[in-house]
Amino acid sequence: MERKDFIKKFAIGGSILLTAPVLFSGCSKDETLGEGGNNDQNGIVVDLSLPAYSALGTVGGSVNKGEIIIIRTSDTNYIALSNVCTHSGCTVGYNSGTTELVCPCHGSKFSTSGSVTNGPAPTSLKKYNVVKEGNTLTIT
């Protein structure tokens, strides 16, 4: 084998070796959601005492965590919905003034139950169960 062929094959093999872990970890179902939020067997756990979740300290506050939006709807109630619009996949945001989730791409609107109130979105947002214990939310 010539030196040029060896270097070329070595470079290709090294590239494959370096990218394989990234490719395979992207297929993992158990993603860490970042500081204060992670997946365990019981769902996603969010520590409300962390600065990243300070918006949830007031009624009407919301936080996006991965593909989930968490909204504080009252002094004692939190909801969690998919934040991915069912029309074109854009990220919806919460408008506390109208208590609606709005898609910035095509104007779809959703209620806090996840149902479509204004199209073109064809289906509701997925809703998750939220349990609060102390300063911790568990989303399943």
How do residues 63-93 score in pLDDT, each as one tens digit?
Answer: 999 999 999 999 999 999 999 999 989 999 9
Do 13 and 80 share a domain, yes or no? no
Do 24 and 41 share a domain, yes or no? no
Do 60 and 91 share a domain, yes or no? yes
Contacts 24+ apart (CB under 8 A), 109-116: 110/81, 112/71, 112/73, 112/79, 112/81, 114/81, 114/82, 116/86
Q: What is the average pLDDT value for the chain, to the nearest integer?
A: 81
Q: How far apart are CA 73 and CA 62, in angstroms?
A: 9
Number of domains in the chain: 2
**CATH number of domain containing 80:** 2.102.10.10
pLDDT tens digit sequence for 89-128: 999 999 999 999 999 999 899 999 999 998 899 999 999 9
